[in-house]
Amino acid sequence: MKHWLWLSVGVLALDQVSKWLVLAALAPYEVVELVPNLNLTLMFNTGAAFSLLSDAGGWQRWLFTAFALAVTLVLVIWLLRLKPGEGWLAAGLALIIGGAVGNLIDRVLLGHVVDFIQVYLPFIPLALFNPWPSFNVADSAISVGVAMLIIESLRGERGLDAGAER
């Protein structure tokens, strides 16, 4: 299943190219409205998801770097051990790997992750995550990959339940 690593490479390339284009084009916190409720806004995240530990003083950079390396290694091993026919699971893992490495590169080279996609969710009260915390292509790939893993696990559980009824 190693051919799925090309998806990881594609995500990584798209992530890094998009970040460098935004870094070249926008000043920090500059807002460019693409369509209503969707902006490009250059931001820097020294923390994890939702800026967790962003004000921790710098040590979190290396914690998140080590965590990303460990998770990536485990996911690559898992991917390489999959059997033919487990393409959905392989695609989900490849998306997560590509996204994790994309943010890892930012953290190591820049000391922070470059975020630039800003979404306003008009159906959510203003006090609750509005605008939604900025994110990037890597974050999107990780989110889609995790959703695919959850769907696969639910499909697997239904298969086990159906087999138990026989």
More confident residue, 128 or 67: 67
Supply the pLDDT for residue 166.
Answer: 42
Residue 51 lies in a domain: no
Q: Is residue 34 part of a domain?
A: no
Among 55, 106, 115, 161, the one annotated catalytic? 115
Whole-number Å distance between alpha carbons of 152 and 150:
5
Of 95, 102, 121, 100, give the one whose Cα is nearest residue 36. 121
Q: How many CB atoms lie within 10 A of CB 80?
A: 13
Q: Would you state the pLDDT for residue 126? A: 59
For the beta sheet containing 113-119, the strands, ordered from the edge strand earlier in sequence to the opposite edge, are: 31-35, 38-45, 113-119
The boundaries of the domain holding residue 150 are 2-28+40-45+60-119+128-160
Task: Flag whether 35 is in a domain.
Answer: no
pLDDT at 8: 97
Q: In this structure, is residue 55 part of a structural domain?
A: no
From the candidates 15, 55, 139, 161, which is the catalytic residue?
139
pLDDT at 116: 95
Could you tell me where the DSSP H helices lie in the chain? 5-25, 59-80, 87-110, 137-165
15 is catalytic: no
Catalytic-residue membership of 115: yes
Task: Note whether residue 98 is domain-resident.
Answer: yes
Mean pLDDT of 35-57: 72
39: its two tokens: 């902006």
Residue 130, both tokens: 């509005």
Q: pTM of the full predicted structure?
A: 0.84
pLDDT at 125 over 90: no
Residue 77 lies in a domain: yes
In order of 7, 9, 19, 117, 146, the CA distances from 13 in angstroms are 10, 6, 10, 17, 20
- Domains identified in the chain, total number: 1
**Is the Cβ–Cβ distance between 9 and 98 less than 8 Å?**
yes
* More confident call, 124 vs 45: 45
> If you average pLDDT over every residue of the chain, what do you get?
85
